[in-house]
Amino acid sequence: MPEHSPAPAPRRIAVLGGGVNDEHDVSLASAAAVTRAVVALGLEAVPLTVDRTGAWRGTDGTALSASEAVGLLTDCDAAVPVFHGVHGEDGAAAGLLTMIGVPVVGSPVRAGALGIDKWVTKTIAESVGVPTARSVLVRAGHEAGVGLPLPTPFVVKPTTGGSSNGVSVVRAADDYPSALALARSAGDDVLAERFVTGREVDIAVFRDRSGALRCGAPLEIGVDDGDVFGRTEKYDGTARFTVPAVLSDAEVTAITDAARTLYEVLGCAGVARFDFFVTGGGVVLNEVNTTPGFTEQSQVPRMFEAVGLPYVALVRELLDAALRPAV
CATH 3.30.470.20 in the chain is located at: 114-132+197-323
Asked if the 114-132+197-323 domain carries CATH number 1.10.3720.10, the reply is: no
pLDDT for res 226? 52
> How many other CB atoms sit within 10 Å of the CB of residue 225?
5
pLDDT for res 235? 46
Tell me, which fold does domain 135-194 have in CATH?
Dna Ligase; domain 1 (3.30.1490)
Close Cβ partners of 264 (under 8 Å, ≥ 6 residues apart): 213
CATH 3.40.50.20 in the chain is located at: 12-106
CATH number of 12-106: 3.40.50.20
- Contact criterion met (CB below 8 Å) for 110 and 132: no
Distances (CA, A) of 266 to 54, 116, 269, 314: 28, 11, 9, 22
pTM: 0.90
CATH 3.30.1490.20 in the chain is located at: 135-194
pLDDT for res 5? 47
pLDDT for res 76? 97
CA 237, 200, 20, 41 torsion: positive or negative?
Answer: positive
Where are the alpha helices (H) located in 132-229, listed in sequence order?
176-184
Mean pLDDT for each consecutive 10-residue tract of the chain (327 residues)? 53 95 93 98 97 93 95 97 92 97 97 95 97 92 75 93 78 93 85 94 97 98 62 56 97 98 98 97 96 96 98 98 71
